[in-house]
Amino acid sequence: MAQLRNLPDHATVFDVFSAYPEMFGHIADFSQAAFRGPGPLPPRDRELIFSYVSQLNACEYCFGGHAETTKLLGAAPDVFEKLKIGIDTAPVDAKLKPLLRYAKKLTETPARITPADAEACYAAGWSDEAIMQAIAMTCLANFMNRLVEGSGVHADPSKFAMRAKAAVEKGYQRPFREKMAALGKPVG
């Protein structure tokens, strides 16, 4: 149930964004750039980092939709069950594991990030840009998890696959703009 009176009982992220377009309209643009913009991390790995952080935060809404997206983009079907056990045994490329460790630490104990954490990523072959993409995905996930949980967005598992398909086919910016235009509230 939504925490805010102006949101429907089974609110979605779109309901929050459309209720406060001036505040959150730019998040769709940022999400598009973070998830699908140019950079060294492929979309699957960006989705994986976002999903993993959402799993750490126990945000069912964000985890459910983005985990499905990650799988549609080619991740192993059991990747998140294995990540719950530990990064070392998860079915992900060994090169990605230092970035996942970085994201985990940044989520759970952000003040404890040190140059050694970045050095582990560099040693795996990642660039500054790749590390920053992982940081951006971690930040976006933590932001969205708190927005979702704080406003009471409803997780409907029956819609996870549909949300994933839309994310793969349309990205993140276009669906938001289409929905806002349909409401007579065009943005950007």
The string of pLDDT tens digits covering residues 147-176 is: 999 999 999 999 999 999 999 999 888 888
pTM of the model: 0.95
pLDDT at 188: 63
Burial readout 24-42 (b: 16 or more C-beta within 10 A, e: otherwise) = bbebbebbbbbbbeebebe
Range name among 13-27, 70-84, 116-130, 136-150 with the lowest pLDDT average: 13-27
Helix ranges restricted to H, the chain:
13-19, 21-36, 43-56, 60-72, 79-85, 97-108, 115-123, 128-151, 160-170, 173-182
Residues of the chain with pLDDT > 70: what percent?
99
**Fold of domain 13-181:** AhpD-like (1.20.1290)
Task: Return d(Cα 53, Cα 105) in angstroms, integer.
Answer: 10
Task: Return d(Cα 63, Cα 138) in angstroms, integer.
Answer: 13
In the chain, the N- to C-terminal Cα span, in Å, equals 30
Average pLDDT over residues 58-62: 98
